[in-house]
Amino acid sequence: MNRLCRASLLLFVPLLFAAGCQEKATAPLPANAPRGVKTLEIGAVDFASQNVYSGEVRARHEIPLAFRVGGKLVERTVDVGDRIRAGQVLARLESSDLALTLRQAEATREQALAEARRAQELRRKGFISEAALEAKVTFAETASAQAQLARNQLAYAELSADASGVVSAVLAEAGQIVAAGQPVLRIARDGEREAAITVPESQVGRLRPGVSAEVRLWNGRRYRGVLRSLAPMAEAATRTYAARVTLLDADEDARLGMSAQVVFAEAEPAVIVVPLSALIQQGDRPAVWVVGEDERVRLRSIEVARYTDRGAIVASGLHKGETIVAAGAFLLSEGERVRILR
């Protein structure tokens, strides 16, 4: 029995000690103790806002290729994504009619030249007038020009690349009847690469050609860029302005069609920035608690220029060197004394 009592006492004493310690650790502050708050001393900081636009990598020069004559497309030797070289034949038209036209024009030319030679001989002998000779010579020159035109048109039945690049689009298929000048292929020429973006109306006034930018690709690569062009008129459907940003140090990792983000960093003069947690609403205006030298808070309305992910940029209402409540603003009342937490 005594052994059991001693064991009970040994367990009871630590419990009393622990309870006493817990009561001491959680003892409440006096009822009239100032509320503890985190504060921030106002200071002007250099601020750079970032405007980010989504787009894609494009070639600076994208050329639609078309036949100079119309006809039936009988062969296309390339497809989307194929690399091409200057002078390579890309497509052909059915050319039998053009060949017949050329033979007819050449026969007419030969006949006209023969008649002009006979007329010259007759003129030397005095059998025809000078005007008749000139008519024959003029007809021979016209027939020669027609034959050269027919020869050119037959050559136009083959569509050749005028520069090296990549086929970015196929706009016609074999068997299709195409008109003269109708695009058949679109070629992205080798050389400069650009990011094609659109700029909303609210931001177009901030940008000018020549502004520096950073182009970020989803593969992790980043490139220096410069705004090359900005459309003077908005697109009717989207009300946005088309823009092109040149990649100054583009390499083979900047592939055509890749998604890109273009970042324009806009430096601003030193501004006052307060955390969003410091703001409360006073009527229809934002306000902050300003801590006075007597450690009492007073509510002050401010004017916010704009909100950012770094905080609110203050246009007026605060001055450098003042102290505001940075957190816990909703728990305070006018004139309340606070305890600044370090």
* CATH for 113: 2.40.50.100
pLDDT at residue 58 greater than cutoff 50? yes
In CATH, what number is assigned to the domain containing residue 330?
Answer: 2.40.420.20
Whether 131 is covered by a domain: the verdict is yes
CB 101 within 8 A of CB 150: yes
Q: Output the pLDDT for position 269.
A: 65
Distances (CA, A) of 29 to 22, 34, 79: 15, 9, 79
- Mark whether 103 and 133 lie in a shared domain: yes
Domain-ending residue, one of 211, 242, 267: 267
Distances (CA, A) of 289 to 264, 268, 292: 35, 26, 10
Q: Output the pLDDT for position 158.
A: 95
- Mark whether 69 and 139 lie in a shared domain: yes
**Mean pLDDT score, 265-281:** 79
Q: Whole-model pTM? A: 0.58
Q: Output the pLDDT for position 26.
A: 45
- Mark whether 162 and 91 lie in a shared domain: yes
> Which range (27-36, 164-173, 319-328, 333-342) has the least confidence?
27-36
Q: What are the helix and strand counts (H, E) for the chain?
A: 3, 22
**Mean pLDDT score, 141-147:** 95
Q: Output the pLDDT for position 266.
A: 66
Beta strands 285-291; 323-327: pairing state: antiparallel
Count of CA atoms in the C-beta half-sphere (13 A) of 5: 2
pLDDT band at 49 (very low <50, low <70, confident <90, very high): low
Question: Helical H runs in the chain?
Answer: 2-25, 96-125, 130-155
Q: At what angle do helices 96-125 and 130-155 cross, to 10 degrees?
A: 160
Domain-ending residue, one of 232, 248, 267: 267
pLDDT band at 15 (very low <50, low <70, confident <90, very high): very low
- Mark whether 139 and 249 lie in a shared domain: no
- Mark whether 56 and 86 lie in a shared domain: no
Domain-ending residue, one of 232, 267, 302: 267
**Rounded distance between C-alpha atoms, residue 256 and residue 259, angstroms:** 9
- Mark whether 298 and 216 lie in a shared domain: no
> Which range (32-36, 123-127, 136-140, 174-178) has the least confidence?
32-36
Q: Output the pLDDT for position 306.
A: 81
Amino acid identity for residue 126 in this structure: G
Please write the tens of the pLDDT for every residue from 278-303: 898 888 899 999 998 888 999 999 99
In CATH, what number is assigned to the domain containing residue 246?
Answer: 2.40.30.170
Please write the tens of the pLDDT for every residue from 184-212: 999 999 989 999 999 998 888 888 899 99
Q: How many distinct structural domains can be found in the chain?
A: 3
Q: Output the pLDDT for position 2.
A: 46
Whether 11 is covered by a domain: the verdict is no
Q: Which domain holds residue 55?
A: 51-61+191-267
User: What mean pLDDT, rounded, does the chain reach?
Assistant: 86
Q: Output the pLDDT for position 146.
A: 95
- Mark whether 162 and 75 lie in a shared domain: yes
Q: Output the pLDDT for position 98.
A: 94
